[in-house]
Amino acid sequence: MSGQALRDFLSMVQRDYPEHFLRVTTPIDRSFESTAIVAELERAGQHPVIVFENVKGFSMPLVTNVAANRKLLAAILDVDPANLATSFRDRCQNYLPAEVVGDAPWQDVVLEGDDIDLTKLPIPIQFPVDAAPYITAGQICARDPETGVDTTGFHRLMLKGKNRLGVSLHSRRRMYEFHRRAEERGEPLPAAITLGIHPLHYMGSMAFHYPPGVRKFEIIGALFGESYRLGRTGTDGLEVPWGAEIVIEGHILNDVREPEGPFGEFTGYASYRSTQNVFVAHRVQMRSDAMLHSVVSGMAADHIRISCISREAEILNSLRRNLPNVRAVHVPAETCGALMAIVQMKKTAAGQPQQAIMAAFGTETYCKCVIVVDDDVDIFNLTDVMWAVATRARADRDLFLIPGAMGAILDPASDPEDNTVTKVGVDATKPSGRDYAERLVIDDEQRARAREILAGMGIAGMQ
């Protein structure tokens, strides 16, 4: 069995993209240092996958930043980075049944009862505001108590003790509903936390809009282009990735709420909002040489890059139903991977940008600013986008405010009482029906020649 595990991805990066792989042997403290190293690399424009070999006080290595690099995410789908969202959208719809396989590698070591001690994992404290160490790469798997259909997705997990984790189900999506239904029955929700997943699992778990009877594992299989291999847990028979590093089995308690947070969220702010749920572990299974996978929190690309791609795909899919002249959509990581969307279109009639703005807001709840630009604007270059806003948008005619709209619960600008926010659309396309100022351009041949001359002079970065 190969190809669907985190360590398969690490091997691919080391072999084919060694410039994007970093192994840190210097001892680091689990408090803040891994996050600070990633932040400094990002400031330098670098997004390598990182393995920390020596976390002080722990024997297990720490793997992080696996989903930060758009080039690597495109490579595992064998597409150009510019086509990543389109490919993701298309492949997610080709659902493939999952395959249950016995003798999973995470069954090497089994811990139960008093032997369970989650404090022995090198779980980072990422920001001074964080209330405790947080498991950030934990994919929680659970079944709908009514239909039996399962799901898997990320939820932050606060370390509270040897077998106890605080969890927030604030996305209000499937997992929240599964727990609500179990609680109505007076029951806890059986759940398994999977640690150490391939980035394609990460991507598939972030698909937002799909039929209620479809399993997330069928979407993940579609991304792999083959059935996703699963193993079955021992306590509740939940199915989890066969290639995982660590599996923590337990229950999300019913009618129990405990303080959880604050935590450094994707907005770049501390979040004190939480559903305050509690997970209790009953069994831990892991590989004999297990690695702890952690997602860098806050506004790190590892935290928000895939949410950018999934939102780009969903918005593009929605817009093209009625506006086939929409070329592309970009959700910049710089705007928290959710709060802004940029739509590129070849406008053929007045009113189309406004139609795109309304459709984008209707598709993505978290988004609160949509900018529509012409097809001569590079939507992956915020400088170019802001140039279009500055030179093509007329404030009296091209700004559209939508007060009282549903926002993101973690957005600090949303109303704390009802989570509403005023959303804004910006039409930064050229006006229809008249000539407009001609844009200055330098063609690709001229740019290539300029780079050749500069590289010949030894000026770095010109290759």
Average pLDDT over residues 143-148: 93
Kindly report the length of the chain: 463
Task: State residue 460's pLDDT score.
Answer: 60
Q: Give residue 1's pLDDT band: very low, low, confident or very high (50, 70, 90).
A: very low
User: What is the per-residue DSSP string for 84-135?
Assistant: HHHHHHHHHTS----EE-SS-GGGSEEEEGGG--GGGS-PPB-STT-SS-EE
- Overall average pLDDT of the 254-277 stretch: 92
**Residue of 326, 389, 388, 337 lying closest to 367 (CA atoms):** 337
| Distances 17 to 10, 24, 127, 343 between C-alpha atoms, Å | 10, 17, 30, 31
DSSP strand pairing (246-252 vs 139-143): unpaired
Domain boundaries, the chain: 6-300, 320-428
pLDDT band at 236 (very low <50, low <70, confident <90, very high): confident
Q: Which fold has domain 320-428?
A: UbiD C-terminal domain-like (3.40.1670)
Q: 6-300 — its CATH code?
A: 2.30.110.10
The structure's pTM equals 0.86
Q: What is the mean pLDDT of the chain?
A: 92
Cα 349 versus chain centre, distance:
35
